[in-house]
Chain A
């Protein structure tokens, strides 16, 4: 009988296998293990960065290793840490931030690492809209932003033309009207939609309208945060989605990015998802396309505020030698280099993380040719971040998102009203947050 236990045994077994696989002969150079979740073109970017760094000096060698999807990579890292041989650098997606942060002793905050090793590090050189997500409320950088994106609205220009729409919609009411026109013009199964249902319709929506998702600056100021996204803005938005779901003016596309193909296939002419979708749109869409900032409700005061980031950051793991840390710090300084940041930005479509790199890309005229790559940066830097739009830091975020999605799914299926669904999502989510608070190391 097959019986699976996902306990520490599995962790130990993985770790043993990993150790065996990595048993390399002793060398004078210090090896830096870098575990990541990048595939395809982005994997090549990672490998190239490591090779360039290794070629630039002879004391340290960065060894990148692909560990599967974001959750897989995080689990592999946690399992390796429990077995006592974590990698030096681990790429963790933004929703894993709280889990990593709570692990005092398991991770080495980046600002501390830079202080201790004496590497050049100017916190002010980075775009606050990006680093804010990975910093304490005092502005101390905990992890190093590696690949950042934000949410934008992808637009099928040919479809708009077909429906006689002359302007790309800027506000939600305009999107609803245009989606109805598009539906009448032959896009019968989906006027508009979003991937990442909670990221789009709760997390980004709240930040973009400067309303709280959770107390304590969305959890950035403490694990004793309570969810607050059952306010009038979010309820109104969900009510609208429920109403439009009935005749498919809006059509639900699932919890992850699995529905993104509906845009590139031409089924959904307006589609909200990550700016990181750029590579796929470029290679697959057989129509004229562009992207635009997320829509907003003009009657909400102060909207649009600024968007929050997605993507992943690099965490430095704890318990390594000073010599190894020196190498990690040098590598992070290497990554912050302006020209290198510009190159990463151009190759992957992910955002540059330093002000200087952004300015340089602008000066090069890069955005004149590809304006859609600037949309997420414009969204992120639209206004100085507030308590509601610096970012979010909620424990068990992967499961929280599933739980919120469950409630939204029930509302869209007509089993609950928008208010009932969001109230339930808040109540159930708070129970989970308290559970996390109990286990989090302080």
Chain B
């Protein structure tokens, strides 16, 4: 149950939320509104000639098979990134939750990658996996694998998923660890006394009790995969080879900023916003019902 705060004056609560509202208005609603307006216009890069074209930008997008390919690709990426980083983080968190000597040290190490900016992550992985310079790439070649993400779209996609998932593991780990530590030890001990083995204890007790954390992280991870992977893609593959790593957010950037087609870019932003709002709403409506709080 939420606590009810009782205010003496009518005005005070509004005053208290005003700063937050102002921030949201200026940094979210205003630009989002601008994007909506822009998506109905056709402009040259300099904004010298503006034509109001109603839904032309949207129509062109929806008639473009490339755009649908980008949507599918983005979902595939999100799924792969969320699944791999969540499962690995959960495994690590369960391991780190034990009373180990030096556990603080391990935890700190595991959390570290979260502090690395996405473009830097991209550069780091490129150093390891660049076909001509990379340490790992040399190893792969020695094993007889033809490693060439510059030309092989599947390998490039794998590269992005690896780097993006690696960065997100830390964040997920933190939340899982906190979630695990919130589970009362007595419940687990009782199960242990009743003879439940560790695996069974995990699936019947720990996992269900972690479900709110898992649900929250799924939302966060999907949004992360949709937006935050931009820096990684830009430094690693720039959407190539042959669009194999062009996600929706990268397409918005390349059409708008590199191509100067602001109308189409804005229309894509609006659709992207719609997709994410729908996703989040869907998750909160349907997934949340299955969550035990």
Instruction: Give me the interface of A with B, judged by CB distance under 8 Å.
Output: 1-10, 71, 75, 78, 81-82, 99, 102-106, 189-190, 245, 252-256, 259, 261-262, 265, 267, 396, 398-399, 402, 405-407, 409-410, 412-413, 415, 432, 435, 438-441
Once A and B bind, how many residue pairs between them come within 8 Å at the CB atom?
134
Q: In the complex, which residues of chain B have a beta carbon less than 8 angstroms from the beta carbon of A9?
A: 30-31, 34
CB-CB under 8 A for A105 and B48, given A1-B276, A99-B260: yes
CB-CB under 8 A for A5 and B266, given A75-B257, A259-B132, A398-B258: yes
Q: In the complex, which residues of chain B have a beta carbon less than 8 angstroms from the beta carbon of A409?
A: 150-151, 240-242
Residue in A71, A190, A410, A432 whose CB lies within 8 Å of B132: A190
- In the complex the two chains form, what is the Cα distance from A253 to B152 in whole Å? 13
- In the complex the two chains form, what is the Cα distance from A413 to B243 in whole Å? 13
CB distance from A72 to the nearest CB of B (A): 9
- In the complex the two chains form, what is the Cα distance from A255 to B254 in whole Å? 15
Q: Which of A3, A103, A106, A253 has the most CB of B within 10 A?
A: A3
Kindly state whether residue B35 has any CB partner on chain A within 8 Å: yes
- In the complex the two chains form, what is the Cα distance from A253 to B241 in whole Å? 11
Please determine whether A8 and B242 come into contact, CB atoms closer than 8 angstroms.
Answer: no
Q: In the complex, which residues of chain B have a beta carbon less than 8 angstroms from the beta carbon of A261?
A: 132-133
Kindly state whether residue B172 has any CB partner on chain A within 8 Å: no
CB-CB under 8 A for A78 and B46, given A1-B223, A71-B257: yes
CB-CB under 8 A for A6 and B256, given A262-B132, A439-B49: yes
Which residue from chain B places its CB closest to the CB of A253 in the assembled complex?
B150
- In the complex the two chains form, what is the Cα distance from A49 to B207 in whole Å? 67
- In the complex the two chains form, what is the Cα distance from A190 to B228 in whole Å? 35
Q: In the complex, which residues of chain B have a beta carbon less than 8 angstroms from the beta carbon of A412?
A: 151
Binary contact readout B219-250 vs A (1 if CB under 8 angstroms, 0 otherwise): 00001000110000000001111110000010
Residue in A2, A103, A396 whose CB lies within 8 Å of B261: A396
CB distance from B43 to the nearest CB of A (A): 7
CB distance from A98 to the nearest CB of B (A): 10
Q: Which of A5, A105, A253, A255 has the most CB of B within 10 A?
A: A5
- In the complex the two chains form, what is the Cα distance from A200 to B198 in whole Å? 61
CB distance from A364 to the nearest CB of B (A): 39
CB-CB under 8 A for A5 and B46, given A252-B151, A409-B242: no
- In the complex the two chains form, what is the Cα distance from A50 to B238 in whole Å? 35
30 A-B pairs with CB atoms under 8 Å apart are A1-B276, A2-B223, A2-B228, A3-B32, A3-B269, A3-B276, A4-B227, A4-B252, A4-B269, A7-B38, A8-B262, A71-B258, A81-B47, A103-B45, A252-B151, A255-B240, A256-B238, A261-B133, A398-B259, A399-B254, A402-B258, A409-B151, A409-B240, A409-B241, A410-B242, A412-B151, A413-B151, A435-B261, A439-B261, A440-B44
